Amino acid sequence: MSGLRKLNMMDFTTLIPVREKKIESSPEEKLPELNAYKANRLAAALHPKSQKLIVSDVQILNDSAKLFTLCPDKEAGIEQLAYFSAGQYLSFTLKIGSAYTTRPYTICSSPKDALNGKYQILVKKVSDGFVSEYILNNWEKGTKVVSSGPLGNFTYEPLRDAKSVIGIAGGSGISVFYSLAKAVKEGTEDFSLTVLYGSKTEKDILLKNELEELASGCEKIKIVNVLSDEKKDGFENGFIGADLIKKYAGTDSYSVFVCGPKAMYDFLEKEIPDLNIRRKFVRFELSGISKHAKDYKAFPCEKEGTYKLTVICAGKTVTAECASEYTLLSALERNGIPAPARCRSGICGWCRSRLLSGEVFIPEESDGRRLADAQFGYIHPCATFPLGDITLEIPPVN
Ligand code: FES
């Protein structure tokens, strides 16, 4: 502060003419291309806008889930995969019939696997999920796909998170903990991980053998399977609540990471206060947010209906229909209007658009807008439901 006080602010006014002179007297020669700089090449390798990939293996896990292995598409000139932090996801761009869409899938392989040219994603069929069904029925060895670079912040952060993590998973939410467990075992991450994995019955457990193998001989990893619809020796029974978490958490301070379906989130929101841990130690991965308006208690059912959607993009206007039951992003995609999107959970801001007119419902738990955006009429269509005729200005897809 004392240093700042000695500054003469008037000195700054002389900076601009000095700089202008320097620019004028600089030689005419062109600056090198951006990729001539090592730092730029590194940044592009770590954060590519898109990655052309090829399916190199498909493993059937059960009647509703497959594990896809993806490699760089060398024919398309891609030599390496972007590195990532365990817990991040890839957003895949798909054209299904006349609909353009994107879907985020957590990378379930480890960061070290990426260095060896391999990502893995787990795709599980979800009820009325036309994208998961499309992928399960159509992706096979040799299929070419396009993804984003790795995204998301559901990752372990030693400055924020406790040294011990209780991971709570449901369904394909196990992907994130599989990646974290692999990273712990390989030494990329340094913390203890106990995974409480909820499934209906033993046959619904995904990656069971792989998880057991990871835990064997590694005292930092423990896997506990919890069955809700079956009682069996060697398994916990019921739902994952505060008592079960306390049973496995031990006495040291711990973080809770949750990744699973919305019903699991709703249940845990009521249980977590009983743990008496600080809120910063509780993390929810938002891929569990429901895309159906009626799943939210605050949704005004009297406004249910089908409305007119007017979309302005890059100076062109198109009209379509939108139903209050689905997000505006779904309406755009179902009508074949390409719209940018990544997380589809209201968080990343990639789909940020301007609401020019119309009433909407934005669930509180998925309202990731900045305060100023909310005040100036910007919305995230992936987390917004129409409650009347809507006029929306969307950014073009790059
Ligand atoms: S796609 Fe991330 S906020 Fe909409």
Q: Tens of pLDDT along 119-176?
A: 999 999 987 778 999 999 999 999 999 999 999 999 999 999 999 999 999 999 999 9
Mean pLDDT, the chain, whole residue set: 92
Ligand 1 close to Cβ of residue 124 (< 6 A)? no
The reply to whether 294-393 shares the fold of 45-147 is: no
The angle formed by the CA atoms of residues 194, 115 and 52, to the nearest 5 degrees, is: 110
Binding site membership of 342 for ligand 1 (Cβ less than 6 Å): yes
Res 191 pLDDT > 90: yes
Residue type, 222: K
Higher pLDDT, 146 or 29: 146
- Strands of 162-262 (E only): list them: 164-170, 192-199, 221-227, 236-237, 255-259
* pLDDT score at 2: 56
Name which residue leads in pLDDT, 302 or 30: 302
Residue 379 Cβ contacting ligand 1 at under 6 Å: no
Q: Is 53 in the pocket of ligand 1 (CB under 6 A)?
A: no
Looking at domain 45-147, which of 3.30.70.2740, 3.40.50.300, 3.90.1150.10, 2.40.30.10 is its CATH number?
A: 2.40.30.10
> pLDDT tier at 3 (50, 70, 90 boundaries)?
low
Q: Which residues contact 78 (CB under 8 A, 6 or more apart)?
A: 51, 52, 53, 72
Report whether 108 contacts 181 (CB < 8 A): no
Nearest-atom number in ligand 1 for the CA of 341 is: 1
8 Å CB contact between 185 and 217? no
Q: Where are the domains of the chain?
A: 45-147, 164-288, 294-393
Q: Ligand 1 centre and the CA of 120: distance in Å?
A: 23
User: Cβ(81) to ligand 1 under 6 A?
Assistant: no
- Asked whether the CA dihedral 142, 77, 120, 98 is positive or negative, the reply is negative
Q: Which letter, b or e, does each residue of 190-224 get, where b requires 16 or more Cβ atoms within 10 Å of its Cβ?
A: ebbbbbbbbbeeeebbbbbebbeebbeeeebbbbb
Q: Are 156 and 81 in contact (CB under 8 A)?
A: no
Helix (H) or strand (E) holding 317: strand 316-323
Of residues 94 and 288, more confidence is placed in 94
Amino acid 1: pLDDT? 53
Does domain 294-393 bear CATH number 3.50.30.10? no
pLDDT in tens, 300-358: 999 999 999 999 999 999 999 999 999 999 999 999 999 999 999 999 999 999 999 99
Architecture field, domain 164-288: 3-Layer(aba) Sandwich (3.40)
| pLDDT of 118 strictly over 60 | yes
Task: For residues 214 and 23, give the distance between their C-alpha atoms in angstroms, rounded to a whole number.
Answer: 59
Q: Pick the residue with more confidence: 41 or 199?
A: 199
